[in-house]
Amino acid sequence: MRKPKASSKAQARSEARPGGETHQTTTSADQTLTTNQGVPISDNQNSLKSGARGPTLLEDFVLREKIQHFDHERIPERIVHARGSGAHGYFQPLKNLSKLTKAAFLQDPKKTTKVFVRFSTVAGGAGSVDTPRDVRGFAVKFYTEEGNFDLVGNNIPVFFIQDAIKFPDLIHSVKMEPDRGFPQAASAHDTFWDFVSLMPESMHMLMWAMSDRAIPRSLRHIEGFGVHTFRLVNAQGESTFVKFHWRPSIGAASTLWDEAVKIAGADPDYQRRDLWEAIDNGDYPEWTLAIQAFDQKTADSLDFDILDPTKIIPEEVIPLTPIGRMVLNENPVNFFAETEQVAFHPGHIVPGIDFTPDPLLAGRLHSYLDTQLSRLGGPNFHEIPINRPVCPMRNFQRDGHMRMAVPPGRVAYEPNSLAPDSPRENPTRGFTSFPDPTSGPKTRERPESFADHYSQARQFWRSMTPPEQGHIVNAFTFELSKVVTPAIRKRMLGHLDLIEPELGKRVAAAMGMVGEAEKISPAVEPRDDLDPSPALSIIGKAPRTIKGRTVAALITDGSDAAAVQKLRQALKKEGAQLKLVAPKVGPLKGGLSPDMQLDGAPSVLFDAVVALPSDGGAKELAGVAAAIDWLRDAFGHLKAIGFNEATAPMLSKAGIEADSTMGIVAIDGKGGIEAFIGAAKQHKIWERDKLVRPQR
């Protein structure tokens, strides 16, 4: 690959340390960082590798001690990704992929492979809410005929750090501050922003985390990414680099920040409930698995390093190739036994799939196994039903805590002559690692090709639509305004100026800190010639659909049952469902039975709303604060609003004017329901955004 120009190798390496060259400090002898054995540490930023781009070495005791201690900090809850939701399903390839890989489950388009998927937040504990601003985990376990393959990724294609040795530091910074035990499931506090402001490599990920990607509408509306560059290897031993992408069939969608906050109060289990009910109702979530496949020549031609997990390959450079579809069609029968005990590990691969020497991936290959040993009680976690492969397991591993299998015989070793029918290695069928020629001297350093931390962050900003850019500004403003230490705010404003001067100015103005940004000197100057990537925008590529969405109708005694039924049928035809909300949950005069009570069903829980009260019911609701807030919130959250003629006094009280161009649609007359559905298919009425949320 073409290497970015840095002033020197030492300068590129310096920026890989917290603060880059701008924030270097001198360490006194009595404050020297050490291992738990008291051994002084010379480099806490880079794992020990065989050459700058080579594989991480097992002998790195600093890395192993640091991650091993981190993995065992809490039991039995996961330290990260503690709050999760799972589902069973199947995967089916779209075509034979034997040209790229010998993986058996990717050969026959007629054959399905069982999967279990776990979605999760990252920072919060198991008892936190579903809707914080956070990364979402997207982990898939394929139960293949050659063993389990775990594709363990996120809903964002990049990560905060380039080397796994920094992972404990990252998570310690974003978790509850250790002296006070808060905030929970939130990055808006000093320790997180202190850490990332000293880690320029985090800037690209911060743009994604402050975007709408971090507050998804539901788990059914998230994209998924393998994050790292992997290899596919075919039967001839030929290697192809690959990036994995999951794309939801109903499109990606998000909430607004105010909406996410209110959902957390109204229903902390909102996304968990949504996934469960969708599957329970037969509205099965579906994703397409696509890849970006490329060879070494293409990798060498890129302006960044494919081993750098803080970088993406824009789809406009290497388009996605769909290779399969995944459908989730069965809820767990026991949350603990399945969703909580499922053990994912990026080291669970099958013949035909292999690693690259990505230094973040290398640490994960150690960390995940170590975590499962702690969480699930010992080395036999693979015998728990949710983790057990569907193919035979044959080896000489014996005993250990919670052993379930009872292997007979006197032989528990290989080679042996006493049990000629016992398992033997198989050079033909067995897994073989691709002979990566990259190697070099033992060293702790970042390659210069990892040194550009701002160009793709700038590209991300320029790929967003104006509403999405406004949301990013608001997110940075909210988060940094929660930071108490002024120096951290100023440092981050300096990074934002480097990402994009417009972004830095808007956030500084919103915070009242114009002209206070710290000057940051990057190792590599950000590029200004990267074209925007439309594929990065949720709004720009959103499909016009309400499939899988929920619409609420506010009804009262005397509401027109025929009108409700007509609306229900029209929505059902589009793949959406209708929920009835009323002041009381009991049967109403006129024959309708509500699903939910108004006080427990704020409009934040729905994708669009319709007000269908009777004349008398509307007059009563005009004096009910919850009913007026129901409409006001729907308006403020840019949802399509349908109404009948009787709703006039409620709209007036809420300060909402009927305007079909702004998604406020009368549904009484001819074509009214169709016009409302057309507005709802936009997901949000973005033309209304500037009315309710002035741009910063």
Tens of pLDDT, residue by residue over 257-308, are 999 999 999 999 999 999 999 999 999 999 999 999 999 999 999 999 999 9
Which residue from 208, 196, 210 is spatially nearest to 19, judged by alpha carbons? Answer: 196
What is the pLDDT averaged over residues 440-462?
Answer: 94
Dist CA 160 CA 637 (whole Å):
30
Which pLDDT band holds residue 14 (cuts at 50, 70, 90)?
very low
* Residue bearing tokens 């608001």: 474
Cross-strand partners of 552 = 579, 609
Instruction: Indicate if the pLDDT at residue 7 is higher than 50.
Output: no
Question: What is the end-to-end Cα distance of the chain in Å, rounded?
Answer: 39
pLDDT of residue 436: 78
Q: pLDDT by residue (tens digit) across 571-581?
A: 999 999 999 99
pLDDT of residue 11: 37
Cross-strand partners of 136 = 121
Helix (H) or strand (E) holding 580: strand 577-582
Dist CA 473 CA 149 (whole Å):
39
Strands (DSSP E) contained in 202-320 are 224-225, 230-233, 239-248, 286-294
Which residues, including other chains, have CB under 8 Å from residue 289's CB and lie 6 or more apart?
91, 244, 245, 246, 322, 323, 324, 325, 326
| 633 DSSP assignment | H
Give pTM, 2 decimals: 0.90
Cross-strand partners of 324 = 93, 289
Q: What CATH number matches the domain at 49-387, 3.30.70.270, 2.40.180.10, 3.30.530.20, 2.130.10.10?
A: 2.40.180.10
Asked whether 492 and 192 are in contact (CB, 8 A), the reply is no
Q: What is the largest CA-CA distance in the chain?
A: 90
Dist CA 268 CA 260 (whole Å):
10
pLDDT of residue 373: 87
Dist CA 449 CA 241 (whole Å):
18
Strands 84-93 and 49-50: unpaired
Dist CA 650 CA 618 (whole Å):
7
pLDDT of residue 1: 58
pLDDT of residue 178: 94
For the chain, what is the mean pLDDT?
Answer: 92
Asked whether 463 and 537 are in contact (CB, 8 A), the reply is yes
Name which of 23-32, 388-397, 407-416 the model is least confident about.
Answer: 23-32
Dist CA 136 CA 134 (whole Å):
6
Question: Where in the chain are all domains bearing CATH 1.20.1370.20?
Answer: 451-536
pLDDT over 90 percentage in the chain: 78
Q: Which residues are catalytic?
A: 81, 154
**3-class SS shares of the chain: helix, strand, coil, % to 5:** 35, 15, 50
Task: Identify the residue with better confidence: 583 or 439.
Answer: 583
Token duo for residue 88: 């069973």
pLDDT of residue 388: 92
Residues 484/488/492/493 CA torsion (nearest 10 deg) = 70
Which pLDDT band holds residue 6 (cuts at 50, 70, 90)?
very low
Q: pLDDT by residue (tens digit) across 98-154?
A: 999 999 999 999 999 999 999 999 999 999 999 999 999 999 999 999 989 999 999
Instruction: Indicate if the pLDDT at residue 10 is higher than 50.
Output: no
Token duo for residue 659: 């305007």
Which pLDDT band holds residue 74 (cuts at 50, 70, 90)?
low
Which residues, including other chains, have CB under 8 Å from residue 417's CB and lie 6 or more apart?
none
What is the pLDDT averaged over residues 472-486?
Answer: 98
pLDDT of residue 13: 37
Backbone angles phi, psi at 443, to 5 degrees: -160, 150
Dist CA 357 CA 53 (whole Å):
7
Strands 230-233 and 147-154: unpaired
Dist CA 561 CA 63 (whole Å):
66
Q: Which CATH architecture best describes the domain 550-692?
A: 3-Layer(aba) Sandwich (3.40)
Asked whether 161 and 167 are in contact (CB, 8 A), the reply is yes
Q: Which fold has domain 451-536?
A: Hemocyanin, N-terminal domain (1.20.1370)
pLDDT of residue 2: 52
pLDDT of residue 25: 45
pLDDT of residue 19: 40
CB-CB neighbours of 626 under 10 Å: 14
- With 0-12 CB in 10 A as exposed, 13-18 as middle and 19+ as buried, what is 623? exposed
Question: Where in the chain are all domains bearing CATH 2.40.180.10?
Answer: 49-387
Q: pLDDT by residue (tens digit) across 610-665?
A: 999 999 999 999 999 999 999 999 999 999 999 999 999 999 999 999 999 999 99
What is the pLDDT averaged over residues 64-73?
Answer: 77
Cross-strand partners of 244 = 291
Dist CA 280 CA 260 (whole Å):
24
CA distances in angstroms from 430 to 70, 195, 347, 436, 527, listed in the order given: 33, 43, 16, 18, 45
Dist CA 368 CA 389 (whole Å):
18
Token duo for residue 308: 């750098």
